[in-house]
Amino acid sequence: MILKGVNYASSGAGILQATGAVFGERISMDKQVDYFAKTRQDIISGIGAAAAQALLRNSLYFLGIGANDILFGESRTVFDTNNYVDEIISNFKSQLTRLYNLDARKIAVLNAPKVGSIPFEKDTHLCGQACLSLLNRMAMLYNSKLKNLLEDLTENLPGSTFVYFDYYAVTEDIINNYSSYGFEKYDHACCEVIGAHGGLIPCISSSRVCPDRTKYIFWDPFHPTDSAVVIGAKYALDGGLEYVSPINVRQLANS
């Protein structure tokens, strides 16, 4: 089965080790790379080093991480936002370089979405729009540095292609033009317990669920619905340079 693909994702995890600690156990990015290294060894043991290298170098690597580092790093960013973002980027550079050294070559990376617009943030910040704008500015700062990092890695790691997917731009477009995508609710969780936007408590067994989740951008306080994810996936797969660069994910897979 591992020859067909492996998912290492972990809810609440981040690029930094400490990210998501409030949620308890999670698998940080460093540990996910550790697991990939173990998978690589298992593949080598199964089909041999040469075949394993060919398989791994032709495989697609899709990374969607970093948003939690922005969301839950607020207490550290009041006075040193730039230094905090630099710390995230520095750690991510090491992790991506390690993936390359483990034979990853085709790597697509999501940037941080418009995190200040999720129901959780809208309901938890008493300071209102000022706090949400700060979060979005931090996401944009991170995204700018991430784009530069991926361009530098592609230039300096022979044979690699790091694709930058502008998930921030996609989420902003979906939220700003929600009705044209068929949504009726752009800032409210479908699965809710309490909060003006249903954002104070995660989706649990006693939650109220909206009658038609396809009309909502957000499923719960943090995550988009399947309908919103499908839109993002289509942009990643076949989008133009305004959303995904230097090539889209379909072109990356076929390269």
Share of the chain above pLDDT 90, in %: 80
Read off the pLDDT of residues 1-40 as tens digits, 9 standing for 90 and up: 999 999 999 988 999 999 988 888 999 999 999 999 999 9
| Burial (CB count <10 Å: 0-12, 13-18, 19+), residue 212 | exposed
Read off the pLDDT of residues 159-196 as tens digits, 9 standing for 90 and up: 999 999 999 999 999 999 999 999 999 999 999 999 98
pLDDT value for 231:
96
Of 49-53, 75-79, 155-159, 190-194, least confident by mean pLDDT is 75-79
Average pLDDT over residues 214-218: 97
Full-model pTM? 0.91
| Burial (CB count <10 Å: 0-12, 13-18, 19+), residue 193 | middle
Q: How far apart are CA 204 and CA 8, in angstroms?
A: 24
Average pLDDT score over the chain: 93
Q: How far apart are CA 163 and CA 171, in angstroms?
A: 18
For residue 76, pLDDT beyond 60: no
Of 19-23, 77-81, 182-186, 235-239, least confident by mean pLDDT is 77-81
Average pLDDT over residues 62-78: 80
Of 71-85, 86-100, 189-203, least confident by mean pLDDT is 71-85
For residue 78, pLDDT beyond 70: no
Non-local CB neighbours of 58 within 8 Å, separated by 6+ positions: 105, 106
Q: How far apart are CA 52 and CA 193, in angstroms?
A: 48
Instruction: Evaluate whether 66 touches 22 at the Cβ level (below 8 Å).
Output: no
For residue 129, pLDDT beyond 80: no
